């Protein structure tokens, strides 16, 4: 497997990365068999994957524990990325990006991963309630102490990417070196601004959801209830607009002699702004199917036809778990007060 530079960190990573969200009892649909999950991780490593992404919140630490056990004796050959920020309990201080929580969260991740350093420590979602300088200052301390090699973000809008880079330079703080956005044939919105901004500042990008969170597996088709387990948790899976696109992609993949999964992942890593795509395998069969496509390269004419189905820079329907900024979440941020509207 060929490797790519992770932005300007100097770290070399595989274009296919293993996502560990489905290891543990997450949502009741994850792989709760620790030994089986460890075998899956070892299979990925043996295939040349050297990049594993997890988070403290995945099964509330269980995923990190599985990864930590799997990497005993192989730690130095693997680039570990994990995340902090999502709620770990009902305690309001066990979440977010405050210095208080970052210092506590990193110690928990280090303990569960059974390591004394994390290669890429990522802010799982933006935290509007915490000053960015506070967050960057705390993360800078972790880098300087050796507990973290590089810091990154997940779901950061392009405008915030620019702001954080400016702030780091202005204050002499560590810069965010990576970004982890959603990206697939169905969700290409980041091509407009996030990917260009990340490239401008030399950030590596680890994209999640290259299979559209299951929609691009070929197992979910329009008019067919073929994967009810997944549709219980992800409403986007049954979105008619997304399924219409799938019906156009299936014959395209067949014509190219490719499974839809291989077409989808190869598309994600074809973008020059993408470093790696996360393979969120839950079973060995899932992983083996995806590994069989690691040498697939899509020709320009095929990429052109995908562009005709889903134009560059566009999203087809909403994506569950994607970050929604406060400016869109609150109606008060989008509408003037009735008295102000009347006065206008």
Q: In the chain, what's the furthest Cα-to-Cα distance?
A: 69
Distances (CA, A) of 261 to 26, 184, 268, 291: 23, 11, 11, 10
What is the chain's mean pLDDT, rounded?
Answer: 92
CA dist., res. 118 & res. 288, Å (int): 27
Contact yes or no for 302/294 (Cβ under 8 A)? no
pLDDT at 74 over 80: yes
Catalytic residue among 3, 16, 58, 183: 58
Let me know if 3 is a catalytic residue.
no
User: What integer is the mean pLDDT of 242-257?
Assistant: 96
Q: Would you place residue 271 in the very low, low, confident or very high pLDDT band (cuts 50, 70, 90)? A: very high
Q: Would you place residue 27 in the very low, low, confident or very high pLDDT band (cuts 50, 70, 90)? A: low
CA dist., res. 115 & res. 117, Å (int): 6
Say what the pTM is: 0.92
User: In terms of Cα–Cα distance, which of 269, 264, 234, 231 is closest to 249?
Assistant: 264
Residues 6+ apart with CB under 8 A from 190: 181, 182, 183, 207
Structural domains of the chain, with CATH = 4-343 (3.20.20.100)
CA dist., res. 63 & res. 95, Å (int): 18
Residue 212 burial (CB < 10 Å; 0-12/13-18/19+)?
Answer: buried
User: What integer is the mean pLDDT of 256-269?
Assistant: 97
* Least confident interval from 150-164, 176-190, 199-213, 326-340: 326-340
Q: What percent of the chain has pLDDT over 90?
A: 82
Distances (CA, A) of 221 to 216, 224, 318: 9, 5, 18
Residue 335 burial (CB < 10 Å; 0-12/13-18/19+)?
Answer: exposed
105-125 pLDDT per residue, tens = 999 999 999 999 999 999 999
Higher pLDDT among residues 272 and 237, named by residue: 272
């Amino acid at each position: 497997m060929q490797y790519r530079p992770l932005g300007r960190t100097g770290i070399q990573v595989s274009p296919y990365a293993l996502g560990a969200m489905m290891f543990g009892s997450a949502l009741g649909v994850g792989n709760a068999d620790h030994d089986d999950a460890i075998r899956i991780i070892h299979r990925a490593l043996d295939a040349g994957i050297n990049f594993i992404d997890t988070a403290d919140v995945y099964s509330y630490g269980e995923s990190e524990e599985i990864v930590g056990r799997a990497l005993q004796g192989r730690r130095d050959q693997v680039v570990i990325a994990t995340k902090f920020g999502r709620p770990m309990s009902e305690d309001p201080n066990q979440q977010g990006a405050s210095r208080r929580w970052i210092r506590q969260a990193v110690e928990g991740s280090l303990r569960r991963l059974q390591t004394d350093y994390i290669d890429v420590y990522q802010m799982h979602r933006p935290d509007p309630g915490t000053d960015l300088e506070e967050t960057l200052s705390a993360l800078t301390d972790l880098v300087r102490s050796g507990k973290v090699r590089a810091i990154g973000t997940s779901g950061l809008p392009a405008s915030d990417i620019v702001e954080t880079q400016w702030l780091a330079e202005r204050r002499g703080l560590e810069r965010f070196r990576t970004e982890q956005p959603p990206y697939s044939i169905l969700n290409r919105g980041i091509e407009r601004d996030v990917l260009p901004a990340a490239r401008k500042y030399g950030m590596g990008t680890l994209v999640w959801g290259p299979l559209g969170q299951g929609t691009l597996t070929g197992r979910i088709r329009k008019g067919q209830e073929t994967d009810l387990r997944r549709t219980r948790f992800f409403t986007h899976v049954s979105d008619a607009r997304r399924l219409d696109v799938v019906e156009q992609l299936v014959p395209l993949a067949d014509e190219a002699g490719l499974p839809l999964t291989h077409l989808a992942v190869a598309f994600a890593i074809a973008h020059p702004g993408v470093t790696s795509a996360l393979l969120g395998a839950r079973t060995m069969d899932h992983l083996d199917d995806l590994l069989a496509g690691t040498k697939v390269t899509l020709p320009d004419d095929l990429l052109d036809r995908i562009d005709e189905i889903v134009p560059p820079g566009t999203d087809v329907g909403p994506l569950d778990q994607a970050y929604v900024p406060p400016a869109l979440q609150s109606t008060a941020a989008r509408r003037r007060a009735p008295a102000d509207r009347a006065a206008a």
